[in-house]
Structure 1
Amino acid sequence: MLISSYKDTTFLGRFPYSEGLDEFGMAGKGIIANHDPESWKFNRKFFNQAILSSNFNDEAIKWVNKLFKELEGYWKLLSNSTSHNNLQDNENDWSLEIDLSTWAHGFMCDMIIVLTTGNRFYSMASYYNKISPVNVTHSDALIEDSEKFIEGINTHVLGVTYFMFLSPFLRHHMPFIKDRVKSIAKNRDYLFERIDTIIKKRRKEIEETPVGTELRHHMLTSLIIANTERDVNNVKTFGDDLLRPMTDAEI
């Protein structure tokens, strides 16, 4: 049913209404799990506007290069600390056995967070500190306990299946399952609270920035300033609902 609803369109498919997703707080929000056509159209407009801009693409290219250099730096430090290689004497001659999947996961987390919020997350640094005898510190991290936040995101994504495929009776009364569902719901509340704090913090920063000052080109800023006097997008869509700014909940 889901596939047949969008097989003849280039738009991203949407899940149909689900009582479980409604209970989980996802129904009617965002894009993928949004069964409300008007809300979906509104959110999709600003999402596309944010990620398809040339400034956003330039920012993505810049951060890919910057984060890869940071990743390579961690690998070199690990190679130097686990062997007798002197990287200062032979900078290009070093080797290291790594868990590529874990590093790739950290790279993607750092990339996604910096492009969506404009702030650093340091997921790779967190993993480096786990396996290195010498730790690195970063005072400008978006979230202090980044490991907990990353684990919370993973739990949230996997937890969606409990609300999509299990009946209300199983979710609320089946032993073991009901405890897991409560844990997933508690994790959801933690994530939403942290994300709401990030949005409000960035909105306040923008409000305190003089109008006309160039803002950083990342998704959160684009969504906050959309349809405001700071909006750098010159293409406007007619329709009263599509011309209003986004609320924190919609973001």
Structure 2
Amino acid sequence: TSYRMVAINLRPLGMDELLQSLNSQYGDILELWFGSNRAVVLCHPKYMVKIHQTSTKSKYIKRFQNINNPDGKEYGIVDSGVFNNNDIHGSWKFNRMVFSNALMRPKLDRDALQWTIELVEEMESYWKRAGIIIDDNDMNKALIEDKEIINLPDWMRRFTYDMIYRIAIGTKGDALNSYTNKLCGLNTYETESNSIIKSTQTYAEGIMYFRLFSKFVRNYFPYIRGIIRSNKNIGERSEDGDDIKNSFVMFGGGLRMCPGRKLAMIELKCLVTMIYRKYDVELVDMNVPLKTKSTFLTSCEELLFRLKLRK
């Protein structure tokens, strides 16, 4: 089954919605054509076993098969760093070794634990200054003010920025403080940290456009309309069931597994432990589905909750 994408309004493109729709129609294996670029989409975890092989001889290790495509090099998503580098036996191998040695050191684990504790305590002080935390007196209010609602992604992006800043440079970042000042009306200008965070988000979202559409299409096709050849569900390509092995792989697999996974788990466990030991976390609306956005990466766009001091 193939789905030829001749043109789409690129602005509201959501890859998760697109692929879920195609999966429901065509099953767990489908073929996509983005202009002249062909892609095979695997929608079931069992097909990912070979892709996650821990061998440099695996034919699936390259993220972008069209390595010589000038569009990828123009955007800087191939032949550099670790995440999308296809120079497996050259710069990728060296960069991977540097990242692994730097991020998997026992000393960094101890330092990261202490830095996370300090950063969470600092974030708590900002919540108190911004009037976000609800105490016993506030619980008697008939209506809770909007300022006491926390959007988790906004705070976590700045928490991550400050943590990376500390690990990479060794000095304290200022993203959380700047964001708190903005909430309190003390900052009326665009801070450097906020500008970097926005630029990082824009860069990640733009990868899909450079990956899937040629330079000619990006520049001269403002709207592209899809032509679906068939709308028939192929039952033999679909599988049911919730208990599926490897259906959620947080840090990837194989040689492309994230080298910072240990550090990320230290931060996550420490953050959750320190928040739940002092506060009751309450979602603003239990019935609202989680708002996510999928392009090259899947991210949470909105998760509203309140913090109440425990008695």
Runs of 5+ consecutive residues of structure 1 not aligned to the other structure: 86-94, 136-142, 178-218, 220-251
1:27 aligns with 2:74: no
Q: Alpha-carbon deviations, 1:87-128, whole Å to 9, x = none?
A: xxxxxxxx9432233222221221122212223332111211
Larger fraction in strand: 2
State the structure with more CA Rg.
2
- Correspondent of 1:15 among 63, 70, 74: 63
* Whole-Å separation in 2 of the counterparts to 1:82 and 1:47: 41
Aligned to 1:54: 106
1:104 aligns with 2:156: yes
Q: Aligned partner of 2:217: which letter?
A: L
SS at match of 1:26: coil
SS at match of 1:79: coil
- Correspondent of 1:126 among 152, 159, 178: 178
* Whole-Å separation in 2 of the counterparts to 1:150 and 1:163: 20
Aligned to 1:230: none
SS at match of 1:48: helix
- Correspondent of 1:67 among 100, 119, 143: 119
Q: Alpha-carbon deviations, 1:171-225, whole Å to 9, x = none?
A: 2333489xxxxxxxxxxxxxxxxxxxxxxxxxxxxxxxxxxxxxxxxx9xxxxxx
CA pair 4-98 structure 1, distance change in 2 beyond 3 A? closer
Contact 2:165–2:171 at 8 Å: present in 1 too? yes
Q: Aligned partner of 1:150: which letter?
A: I
* Whole-Å separation in 2 of the counterparts to 1:174 and 1:4: 38
* Whole-Å separation in 1 of the counterparts to 2:209 and 2:194: 23
Q: Shift in Å at residue 16 of structure 1?
A: 2.5
CA pair 65-5 structure 1, distance change in 2 beyond 3 A? same
* Whole-Å separation in 2 of the counterparts to 1:70 and 1:175: 46
TM-score, scaled to structure 2: 0.45
Aligned to 1:248: none
Aligned to 1:170: 217
Contact 2:72–2:78 at 8 Å: present in 1 too? yes
1:155 aligns with 2:202: yes
* Whole-Å separation in 1 of the counterparts to 2:50 and 2:74: 24
Runs of 5+ consecutive residues of structure 2 not aligned to the other structure: 1-39, 42-47, 138-146, 225-259, 261-311
* Whole-Å separation in 2 of the counterparts to 1:22 and 1:171: 15
Q: Aligned partner of 1:23: which letter?
A: E
Q: Aligned partner of 2:117: which letter?
A: N
Equivalences, count: 162
Q: Aligned partner of 2:203: which letter?
A: H
Q: Aligned partner of 2:216: which letter?
A: F
* Whole-Å separation in 2 of the counterparts to 1:66 and 1:23: 40
Q: Aligned partner of 2:210: which letter?
A: F
Contact 2:132–2:148 at 8 Å: present in 1 too? no
Q: Aligned partner of 1:45: which letter?
A: M
State how 1:1-251 maps to structure 2 within 5 Å.
6-9=51-54, 14-18=62-66, 19=69, 20-37=71-88, 38-79=90-131, 96-133=148-185, 145-175=192-222
CA pair 145-7 structure 1, distance change in 2 beyond 3 A? closer
CA RMSD of aligned residues (A): 3.6
